[in-house]
């Protein structure tokens, strides 16, 4: 089982997070870097991907 801690509504490009891995009763934490590199990618993430983002933009016009 995997989980990522440190994600919030206030994410930033390149933010440091923690990946928690649980297997066979053991837990391990690994530091990782968020690979959202630009502010527009944050918008894509919040909309569920680039396609939903573009569709919402088109429908709002």
pLDDT number for residue 6: 87
pLDDT number for residue 7: 86
| Domain count for the chain | 1
Buried b / exposed e along 3-19 (16+ C-beta atoms within 10 A): eeeeeeeebeeebeeee
pLDDT number for residue 31: 97
pLDDT tens for 32-53 read 999 999 999 999 999 999 999 9
Domain that holds residue 41: 2-59
Residue 3 — very low, low, confident or very high, per pLDDT cuts 50/70/90? very high
On the question of pLDDT at 26 being above 90, the answer is yes
pLDDT number for residue 1: 93
């Amino acid at each position: 089982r995997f989980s990522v801690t440190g994600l919030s509504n206030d994410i930033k490009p390149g933010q440091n997070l923690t990946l928690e891995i649980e297997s066979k009763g053991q837990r391990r934490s690994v530091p990782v870097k968020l690979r959202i590199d630009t502010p527009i990618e944050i918008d894509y993430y919040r909309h569920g991907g680039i396609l939903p983002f573009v569709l919402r933009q088109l429908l709002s016009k």
